Chain A
Amino acid sequence: DSPDPVSLPIPISHLAHRYFLYSPPNIAYLRRHHNVCGVLIGSLPQVPSQNVFMGLPLELMPEEARVLVERGVAYIVDDVAAHREGLEKLKTADGAERRREYMRLLRDVGRKDAEEVMRKKEEVRRGALERAAKKRAEQQKKNGEDVGAEQRVEGGDAQDVDDGTELFSQRSGSVASRPSIPTESYNFITPTSSSPLFDVPPSSECASTSPAAIPVPDSYPLFAHLHANGYFLFPGMRFGCNYVAYPGDPLRFHSHFLSRGVKWN
Chain B
Amino acid sequence: MADIDEDAVPPSGQPGVEVDLSEEAQDFRFLANLLNAGSQHKLPKRGEKDFEPDATQMQTSVLEASRAAMEDALSYTRVHRGKNRTKAILDYGGCGAFVEKPHDRHFMTMGRWTGGQIWLAPEEALYLLERGSLDVQWPPDLLPGDEGAHGAGEEDTVPMSLQAAYSVFIGMGQSLERPLTMEMYSVYAHLKRLGYIVIRAGIAQVEGPTTSPPARTTSLFSFLAERRSRSAAASLEKRGIAGPLVSPGLYRSYGASSPIHRLTISNKMLDDIFHLLRIIPSHNPTTKPTDTPTPPYFDPDQTPDPDALSITFHVYKPSSNYSKRSPPPPDYQIAVMSARETTVPSLAQLSSLLASTPYAPPPESMPLYQRLKKGHRNVILAIVDCGIVSYLTASDAGFAIEGIQWSPRKRGPPFKRSGGRKGRHRAAKPTGNGPR
A residues whose Cβ falls under 8 Å from a Cβ of B: 2, 13, 15-18, 20, 22, 24-25, 27-28, 31-32, 37, 39-53, 55-57, 59, 61, 79-80, 82-84, 87, 90, 99-100, 102-104, 106-107, 109-110, 113-114, 117, 187-195, 197-198, 217, 234-240, 247-254, 256
Contact = CB atoms under 8 A, between A and B. Distances in A.
Given A53-B31, A235-B388, A252-B66, A191 B77 contact: yes
A79 B163 contact: yes
A68 B26 CA distance: 24
Interface in B48-68: 49-53, 59, 62-64, 66-67
B40 interface: yes
Contacts of A22: 161-163
A193 B35 contact: no
A146 B195 CA distance: 55
Interface string B144-170: 111001000000001111111011101
Given A47-B31, A189-B80, A253-B53, 7 more contacts: A53-B26, A87-B142, A197-B161, A249-B66, A251-B28, A252-B62, A252-B66
B9 to A, nearest CB: 12
A2 B64 CA distance: 10
A50 B52 contact: no
Interface stretch (B129-137, B259-267, B285-293, B410-418): B129-137
A250 B75 CA distance: 20
B22 interface: yes
19 contacts: A13-B167, A16-B171, A28-B71, A45-B78, A45-B130, A51-B22, A51-B194, A80-B172, A99-B145, A102-B158, A188-B87, A194-B163, A234-B25, A235-B387, A238-B23, A248-B52, A248-B63, A251-B63, A253-B49
A189 B53 contact: no
Contacts of A249: 63, 66-67
Interface stretch (B96-104, B185-193, B271-279, B307-315): B185-193
Interface string B1-45: 100000000000000000001111111100100110000100110
B50 A45 contact: no
Nearest to A246: B25
Contacts of A42: 130, 162, 189
B388 A50 contact: no
A110 B79 contact: yes
Question: Lowest 4 CB-CB distances: which A-B pairs, in order?
Answer: A237-B385, A45-B132, A48-B131, A41-B387
Contact of A253 (B22, B52, B133, B186): B52
A49 B358 CA distance: 30
Interface string B198-211: 00000000000000
A190 B79 CA distance: 6
Most B CB within 10 A of own CB, among A44, A46, A53, A237: A53
Most B CB within 10 A of own CB, among A2, A59, A87, A194: A194
Most A CB within 10 A of own CB, among B31, B75, B163: B163
Given A24-B74, A187-B79, A190-B132, A235 B386 contact: yes
Nearest to A27: B74
A192 B162 CA distance: 5
A28 to B, nearest CB: 5
A13 B161 CA distance: 14
Contacts of A235: 385-388
Given A99-B143, A109-B77, A253-B52, A190 B163 contact: no
A34 to B, nearest CB: 14
A16 B162 contact: no
Contacts of A49: 40, 193-195
A251 B22 contact: no
Contacts of B387: 39-41, 59, 235
Contacts of B21: 52
B397 interface: no
B435 A237 contact: yes
Given A16-B171, A99-B143, A193 B161 contact: yes
Most B CB within 10 A of own CB, among A37, A99, A240: A99
B390 interface: yes
B67 A32 contact: yes
Contact of A53 (B34, B71, B85, B129): B34
B67 A31 contact: yes
A237 B67 contact: no
Nearest to A106: B159
B73 interface: yes
